[in-house]
């Protein structure tokens, strides 16, 4: 469920900060606090994420409005690296605690103002920014304070597992609360953010600060990225795959929660999260070997597109038969785990003259853009097609996009 959040802004630079090493006991305490922070926050995040399009549709918002809100929310959810680049957010405990405390306050205010729809939407946008700052700061902490490369990889792997395990119950919780009342859903989400903020304040060691070093290249990284032809190809493939991936939290909730019972609809997202945990390691290893043999990532992006296209086609054909839906989610999750395994490395493999940090920023920008565009399509086009014909037709159209993309990436991968 967290394919779109697997990198850190400072990871490549961690060993060049020039800071004195932090004691190992402090690092272990910090890692435990970061895992708790991200785990608890993931429950709130995935309680909010799939219910946002349902909230907008329940307000009888038009397709363009629903898509527009999802576009902005997704873009803001990935903007943390921009904010961190421009503000002094180097004090670890303060930044982590305040980002979550502000998120809790914004959601709590949304409960009080839930009759003012524009205000609620703006407050939720603020929550997206807070989650993004928290996410980037957590990952930057691992990059800055875990010195050995192998230990950093292990820390990120454990963070991913904790995130997926904790986020598994978020959609189910969100669905049950939302269909009881929107106010209950917002209030409990605010309380979860608050609990995460309080835990962070107590658990994160005092006095830790992040490196604020910025090289002159940092401000013009995008120019070098645009001049790199191979990176542009990878960026287009990644962008397309994230359009397909974002259907899971844009069109899928609108489809499921409109017809199925909340518990049944929520269970689909629960299955996805649990399958990610189970498949992450074996599929990741297979994808890594295949990528190494093929000499690049385009064929792996073709595999991602093919899996997601097959899954979305099967969703349209399932007519909400639970067995077929579970099979569709299984196939989708295989594509999701392949994407998570090869996306970062594909950008690294074609970075050319770019420094590693610029490659990471390029990946994060493409993820943000693909997820935002995909969320807009999933929120607006799915409703427009459903109103004009049937929702099934939307799944066939978006599956067709995936098939075309898979063919194009496979052909390019041979070259």
> How far apart, in Å, are the Cα atoms of 23 and each of 11, 87, 145, 146?
19, 27, 9, 10
For the stretch 192-249, pLDDT in tens is 999 999 999 999 998 888 765 555 555 566 666 676 777 888 889 999 999 999 998 8
- Please tell me the predicted confidence (pLDDT) of residue 296: 62
Please report how the helices 322-349 and 262-294 are oriented relative to each other, as an axis angle in degrees rounded to 10.
Answer: 40
- Please tell me the predicted confidence (pLDDT) of residue 194: 96
Do 382 and 254 touch, CB atoms closer than 8 A? Answer: yes
Structure token pair of residue 44: 């709130």
Residue 89 host element (H or E): none
Do 379 and 63 touch, CB atoms closer than 8 A? Answer: yes
Q: What percent of the chain has pLDDT over 90?
A: 32
Average pLDDT over residues 130-148: 82
For the stretch 64-97, pLDDT in tens is 998 999 999 988 887 766 776 666 667 888 989 9
Q: Give the angle subtended at the CA of 336 by the CAs of 332 and 339, to the nearest 5°.
A: 140
Whether the pLDDT of residue 122 is over 80: the answer is yes
The string over 172-194, giving b where at least 16 C-beta atoms fall within 10 Å of a residue's C-beta and e elsewhere, is bbbbbbbbeebeebbbbbbebbb
Whether the pLDDT of residue 359 is over 50: the answer is yes
Do 364 and 7 touch, CB atoms closer than 8 A? Answer: yes
Report the SS3 class of residue 389: coil
Q: Match 């770019």 to its residue by tokens.
A: 354
| Res. 354 pLDDT band, cuts 50 70 90 | low
Do 47 and 192 touch, CB atoms closer than 8 A? Answer: yes
Do 359 and 234 touch, CB atoms closer than 8 A? Answer: no
Do 23 and 155 touch, CB atoms closer than 8 A? Answer: no
| Residues β-bridged to residue 209 | 91
- Please tell me the predicted confidence (pLDDT) of residue 149: 63
For the stretch 248-305, pLDDT in tens is 888 988 888 766 667 777 778 888 888 888 887 787 777 777 776 665 678 889 999 9
Whether the pLDDT of residue 317 is over 90: the answer is no
Average pLDDT over residues 342-370: 74
Do 171 and 47 touch, CB atoms closer than 8 A? Answer: yes
- Please tell me the predicted confidence (pLDDT) of residue 243: 95
pTM for this entry: 0.81
Do 228 and 352 touch, CB atoms closer than 8 A? Answer: yes
Structure token pair of residue 245: 């991936």
- Please tell me the predicted confidence (pLDDT) of residue 105: 96
Q: What is the chain's mean pLDDT, rounded?
A: 82
- How far is residue 69's CA from residue 342's CA, in Å, rounded to a whole number? 29
- Please tell me the predicted confidence (pLDDT) of residue 13: 44
- Please tell me the predicted confidence (pLDDT) of residue 12: 44
Q: What percent of the chain has pLDDT over 70?
A: 83
Q: Which residue has the higher pLDDT, 25 or 1?
A: 25
| Segment among 34-43, 108-117, 142-151 with least mean pLDDT | 142-151
For the stretch 143-156, pLDDT in tens is 778 777 667 767 77
| Res. 185 pLDDT band, cuts 50 70 90 | very high
Average pLDDT over residues 116-126: 94
> How far apart, in Å, are the Cα atoms of 51 and each of 66, 69, 224, 384?
12, 12, 39, 19
CB atoms within 10 A of CB 309: 24
Average pLDDT over residues 348-375: 77
- Please tell me the predicted confidence (pLDDT) of residue 196: 95
| Res. 43 pLDDT band, cuts 50 70 90 | very high
Do 104 and 191 touch, CB atoms closer than 8 A? Answer: yes
The string over 260-277, giving b where at least 16 C-beta atoms fall within 10 Å of a residue's C-beta and e elsewhere, is bebeebbbbbbbbbebbb
CB contact set of 382 (below 8 Å; sequence gap of 6+):
63, 250, 251, 254, 255, 391, 394
- Please tell me the predicted confidence (pLDDT) of residue 9: 45
- How far is residue 410's CA from residue 415's CA, in Å, rounded to a whole number? 9
């Amino acid at each position: 469920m967290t394919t779109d959040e697997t990198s850190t802004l400072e990871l490549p630079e961690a060993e060049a900060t020039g800071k004195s090493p932090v004691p190992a006991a402090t690092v272990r305490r910090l890692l435990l606090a970061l895992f708790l922070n991200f785990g608890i926050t993931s429950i709130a995040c995935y309680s909010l994420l799939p219910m946002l399009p349902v909230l907008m549709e329940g307000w009888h918002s038009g397709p363009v409005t629903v898509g527009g809100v999802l576009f902005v929310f997704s873009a803001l959810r990935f903007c943390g690296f921009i904010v961190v680049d421009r503000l002094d957010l180097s004090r670890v405990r303060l930044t982590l605690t305040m980002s979550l405390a502000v998120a809790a306050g914004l959601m709590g205010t949304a409960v009080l103002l839930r009759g003012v729809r524009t205000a609620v939407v703006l407050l939720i946008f603020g929550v997206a920014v807070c989650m993004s700052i928290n996410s980037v700061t957590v990952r930057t902490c691992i990059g800055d304070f875990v010195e050995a490369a192998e230990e950093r990889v292990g820390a990120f792997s454990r963070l991913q597992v904790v995130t997926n395990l904790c986020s598994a119950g978020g959609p189910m919780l969100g669905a049950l609360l939302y269909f009881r009342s929107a106010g209950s859903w917002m209030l409990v989400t605010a309380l979860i953010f608050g609990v995460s903020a309080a835990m962070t304040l107590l658990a994160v060691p005092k006095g830790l600060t992040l490196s604020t070093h910025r090289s002159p290249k940092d401000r013009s990284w995008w120019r070098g990225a645009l001049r790199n032809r191979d990176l542009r190809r990878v960026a287009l493939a990644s962008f397309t795959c994230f359009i397909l991936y974002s259907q899971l939290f844009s069109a899928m909730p609108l489809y499921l929660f409109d017809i199925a019972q909340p518990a049944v609809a929520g269970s689909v997202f629960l299955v996805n999260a649990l399958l990610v945990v189970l498949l992450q390691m074996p599929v990741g290893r297979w994808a890594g070997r295949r990528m190494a043999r093929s000499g690049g990532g385009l064929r792996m992006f073709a595999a991602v597109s093919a899996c997601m296209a097959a899954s979305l086609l099967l969703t349209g054909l399932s007519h909400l038969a639970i067995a077929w839906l579970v099979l569709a989610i299984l196939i989708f999750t295989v594509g999701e785990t392949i994407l998570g395994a090869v996306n970062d490395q594909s950008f690294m493999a074609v970075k050319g003259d770019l420094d590693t940090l610029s490659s990471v920023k390029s990946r994060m920008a493409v993820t943000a853009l693909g997820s935002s565009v995909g969320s807009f399509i999933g929120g607006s086009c799915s409703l427009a097609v459903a109103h004009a014909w049937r929702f099934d037709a939307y799944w066939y159209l978006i599956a067709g996009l995936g098939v075309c993309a898979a063919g194009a990436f496979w052909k390019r991968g041979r070259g």
